[in-house]
Chains A and B, each alone.
Chain A
């Protein structure tokens, strides 16, 4: 990567780094926050200017960092003419906005947050325009949607702000989703996700069958972002944001992202009929419609919002024409629109700030009260109207020139006439902005006495109108950047010469007609306004809300049907779906013929099998009796364990038998608090339905297992068997798989186990605060409870068993790497040892004697396992790479030490903690059920009496 490439990376990262600062330093004041937001922006801007000369020479600066090469995703950036233009706009206007916002926002606003959001947004926008990888571009695209949501909804206390933010997020987010699809298609056609590669494959992409879907999906993304008809409705509602946000989002950045994308994809996607008719038509309709609505808006910002919609339509239309000259016009208009529109938004903000209203009907005659603002607003508005000597005139002329020789479906007049109407409306609303706000008689009923704002507030728009005038009078100053950017858009070497006078062309006449018509239209504004107010129009916001309500309604209905809180329904859906998928896989697979025969069935095994089947079938019969079912489940568990032993899976057998023991013990404890019988609530039909589902699922799984066992299938087992000792240092393949080959899985599983423990704990806590607790208190358990809760014999025996069981647990743990055992089983064994104590001496007596909370135990376990895994990083190995060595300490035999053992220790602690936490949760019920707490470990201690006798 070149020196300049690093600078580019810096530019891309700077706003995000800078975003960390202002949010946390609001106590330092507004000026400090603004300064700390300005520093990274200014720095990035300077770096950009340093890179500008090489880009202007036609070089493309690239920087690449690998991220996820498997997905084709890399953090690669490039800077060409188009990127330079947009990055300059984003950073330059960003600086002006930071300054403006410092004076615009008040003491009560959380200014630090504002600047953090602003920098986040700025970073996301920069990311879009600098990305060389379309997947990266998509990430930044979504980031702009999210960060603009924060900015638009910045005034959280205003319902309009929240609604506007939500609407913007919904529309642009949905477009972004469509665009992801389009970009993926594009990437797969081109065979690369790198923009530079894609841009070279225009012909292949346009010829592809997938061109249309990709085009439509990408256009959906661009049109939603750039507020093109019919997605234009979100933009005016986003005006609920503070004015600096509106000025930034709607002049230079957010909405221009769609235009940027169109320009970026121009060499690849444009040049087809589909592109022309979709893009140019949408742009044209949007331009005219936006301008028409803008004329009748009384809210200053709404007027500007719809004018923005209109101008975005203009840009879209120009790019849609697909000619190089139109592309030049579009690039030039992007610059011009930025300068006058940002200035106008800021002017509107100043007016709002000073008079406390944005309603045009309540304004007028401000020219003497606010002379500076008047000058700024007028210059910018005249430029928007396209009056000569202002920069808006130049690009509008170029647009009309392009429109004048564009044929639409064979008609030579459709586009020119519509474009002229658009320009005419644009003149009308621009002049209305001047005359209805600043001209006219001075009023005495302003909500607040207006005067010009401090310099800091009008400095930014002031600078912008200097640019407006400079480009308007001497357009050649923009030659360089327009040429560079337009060359980047079209992929051809262009040298446009921007000038004021083009001679008497059709465009000039169209311009004259537009200005004249605009003036006439404005003079008839009052009656037209009444007509407009009376005319029925579809209210976009209401339609949007109805649409959202319908979607929400459907989602709610679907959720409530599938997710109604009954576990039986979840299980039914899950089971049926699995069976269905399995069936489809079977249908599509073409099963080969069996290659193996049945093995002989020894009589002992047959007995075990019959026991298993009989117990299972009997559960179905007696399942209403909870206790009997539990006994039967115990039989089933034992038989399964025996099956594992028979099938040479001692590890599984060991695990199964300890899991069975713990499960049965915990269930017995739980049964204590439940009625002996479950209620009969299912109808015959329901039972039949459930039986069918159950048999289908069980039968399918059985058939699947049977089919597999009859065939020689190549599995991963051979690899594991071959590498267990060599690679993992253990002869117990099962354990090596758990702690090494698939250690990441195990790590995830122990976390899940820990979470399950916490969830049971939390659920029980919630349960015991609710009606269940009341029922427990009144419930009578004592009908056959023995009075000796902690019998002497039991207590003594469990104390004797405890050390033996612990030794067994440690033994199983230590030998785990090479022989059946391991952390999981050891955890269960120790848990059983502890459970015995709890059963014998009562929960609370025992609980009082433990040193570590079980919550902590789970946490420590996960942390140990995680740290062991991360330890591999110190040796530059991937997460969870294990290492082992052999140690010889006389007189002990040589033994092995593996890092996997530490990992296993984490597993052990988590399992122990989770099981004990579950027990703890269950035992809390007992307290609620009125169980008393014993002080002594056993009911009757003969030893005590003996001591007393001795003392006596």
Chain B
């Protein structure tokens, strides 16, 4: 395997390692849920992404075939991580914030957690 390739793989792995570490450290260090939310989402996206890039380069260099499994994993991560973060944030809101503490919603139907969705029986 040429040195350049090995270097690329190493860089990708190191980046992923740093982000993974920072993400985990943040999970412990940051104060409350909303702040902590940032840490793991970064770790999953860039941290895992680095490993996947490294893996793709490695297998391409080794077998000559482009491996797209990693891309699939990336797609899954990109799709699921935001949703997870969104849900954690909502859960935090539902648990810790009262409706009257919130500023008025700019849309027509209020806050999604507290106000009934449009079209439902209870929507006023």
Assuming the A-B contacts A793-B86, A804-B75, A939-B112, are A788 and B117 also in contact, with contact meaning beta carbons closer than 8 angstroms in the complex?
yes
Contacting A at CB under 8 A, from B73-122, are 75-76, 79-80, 82-83, 86-87, 90-91, 94-95, 109, 112-121
Q: How far is the CB of A494 from chain B (nearest CB, A)?
A: 88
* A32 interface residue per 8 A CB criterion: no
* A794 interface residue per 8 A CB criterion: yes
* A791 interface residue per 8 A CB criterion: yes
Q: Mark A370-405, 1 if CB is under 8 A from B, else 0.
A: 000000000000000000000000000000000000
Contacting A at CB under 8 A, from B27-48, are none
* CA A935 to CA B121, docked complex, whole Å: 12
* B72 interface residue per 8 A CB criterion: yes
Contact status B117-A787, CB under 8 Å: yes
Assuming the A-B contacts A784-B95, A788-B112, A804-B72, are A939 and B83 also in contact, with contact meaning beta carbons closer than 8 angstroms in the complex?
no
Q: How far is the CB of A941 from chain B (nearest CB, A)?
A: 9
Contact status B115-A787, CB under 8 Å: yes
Contact status A940-B113, CB under 8 Å: no
Q: How far is the CB of B103 from chain A (nearest CB, A)?
A: 18
Most buried by A among B79, B90, B95, B109: B79
Contact status A939-B90, CB under 8 Å: no
Q: Which residues of A have CB within 8 Å of B117?
A: 787-790, 939-940
Contact status B121-A784, CB under 8 Å: no
* A778 interface residue per 8 A CB criterion: no
Q: How far is the CB of A256 from chain B (nearest CB, A)?
A: 78
Q: Which residues of B have CB within 8 Å of A804?
A: 72, 75-76
Q: How far is the CB of B70 from chain A (nearest CB, A)?
A: 14
Question: Chain B: which residue is nearest A791 at the CB level?
Answer: B112
* CA A787 to CA B120, docked complex, whole Å: 10
Q: Which residues of A have CB within 8 Å of B94?
A: 784, 786
Q: Which of B72, B82, B116, B120 contacts A793 (CB 8 A)?
A: B82
Assuming the A-B contacts A788-B117, A801-B76, A804-B72, are A940 and B112 also in contact, with contact meaning beta carbons closer than 8 angstroms in the complex?
yes
* CA A932 to CA B122, docked complex, whole Å: 11
Question: Chain B: which residue is nearest A807 at the CB level?
Answer: B72
Contact status A786-B79, CB under 8 Å: no
Question: Chain B: which residue is nearest A939 at the CB level?
Answer: B117
Q: How far is the CB of B124 from chain A (nearest CB, A)?
A: 12
Q: Which residues of A have CB within 8 Å of B75?
A: 804
Question: Chain B: which residue is nearest A801 at the CB level?
Answer: B79
* CA A751 to CA B80, docked complex, whole Å: 35
Q: Mostly helix, strand, loop or mixed at chain A's interface? A: loop
Q: Which residues of B have CB within 8 Å of A800?
A: 79
* CA A764 to CA B79, docked complex, whole Å: 35
Question: Chain A: which residue is nearest B121 at the CB level?
Answer: A932
Contacting B at CB under 8 A, from A758-801, are 784, 786-791, 793-794, 797, 800-801
Q: Which of B79, B80, B82, B112 contacts A787 (CB 8 A)?
A: B112
Q: Mostly helix, strand, loop or mixed at chain B's interface? A: helix
* CA A801 to CA B77, docked complex, whole Å: 11
* A931 interface residue per 8 A CB criterion: no
* A493 interface residue per 8 A CB criterion: no
Q: How far is the CB of B95 from chain A (nearest CB, A)?
A: 6
Question: Chain B: which residue is nearest A805 at the CB level?
Answer: B76
Contacting B at CB under 8 A, from A787-836, are 787-791, 793-794, 797, 800-801, 804, 808
Contact status B86-A786, CB under 8 Å: no
Q: Which residues of A have CB within 8 Å of B72?
A: 804, 808
* CA A932 to CA B86, docked complex, whole Å: 24
* CA A794 to CA B79, docked complex, whole Å: 9
Q: Which residues of B have CB within 8 Å of A935?
A: 119
Assuming the A-B contacts A784-B94, A793-B82, A801-B79, are A936 and B119 also in contact, with contact meaning beta carbons closer than 8 angstroms in the complex?
yes
* CA A935 to CA B75, docked complex, whole Å: 30
Assuming the A-B contacts A786-B113, A791-B112, A801-B76, are A940 and B86 also in contact, with contact meaning beta carbons closer than 8 angstroms in the complex?
no
Q: Which residues of B have CB within 8 Å of A787?
A: 112-117
Q: How far is the CB of A799 from chain B (nearest CB, A)?
A: 11
Most buried by B among A788, A797, A935: A788
Contact status B113-A788, CB under 8 Å: yes
Q: How far is the CB of B69 from chain A (nearest CB, A)?
A: 10
Q: Which residues of A have CB within 8 Å of B90?
A: 786, 788, 791
Question: Chain A: which residue is nearest B110 at the CB level?
Answer: A787
* CA A937 to CA B94, docked complex, whole Å: 23
Q: Which residues of B have CB within 8 Å of A940?
A: 109, 112, 117-118
Q: How far is the CB of B48 from chain A (nearest CB, A)?
A: 15
Q: Which of B83, B112, B120 contacts A797 (CB 8 A)?
A: B83
Q: Which residues of B have CB within 8 Å of A791?
A: 86, 90, 112
Q: How far is the CB of B32 from chain A (nearest CB, A)?
A: 18
Most buried by B among A786, A800, A808, A932: A786
Most buried by B among A784, A787, A808, A934: A787
Q: How far is the CB of A915 from chain B (nearest CB, A)?
A: 21
* CA A797 to CA B85, docked complex, whole Å: 13
The 6 closest A-B pairs by CB, nearest first: A939-B117, A788-B112, A786-B113, A797-B79, A786-B94, A797-B83
**Which residues of B does A touch, CB under 8 Å?**
72, 75-76, 79-80, 82-83, 86-87, 90-91, 94-95, 109, 112-121
**Which residues of A does B touch, CB under 8 Å?**
784, 786-791, 793-794, 797, 800-801, 804, 808, 932, 934-936, 939-940
Name 15 interchain pairs, CB-CB below 8 A, sorted by A.
A786-B90, A786-B112, A788-B112, A789-B117, A791-B90, A793-B86, A794-B83, A794-B86, A794-B87, A804-B72, A932-B121, A935-B119, A939-B118, A940-B109, A940-B112
13 further A-B contacts with Cβ under 8 Å, apart from A786-B112, A793-B83, A939-B112, are A786-B94, A786-B113, A787-B113, A788-B90, A788-B112, A788-B117, A791-B86, A791-B90, A793-B86, A804-B72, A935-B119, A939-B118, A939-B120
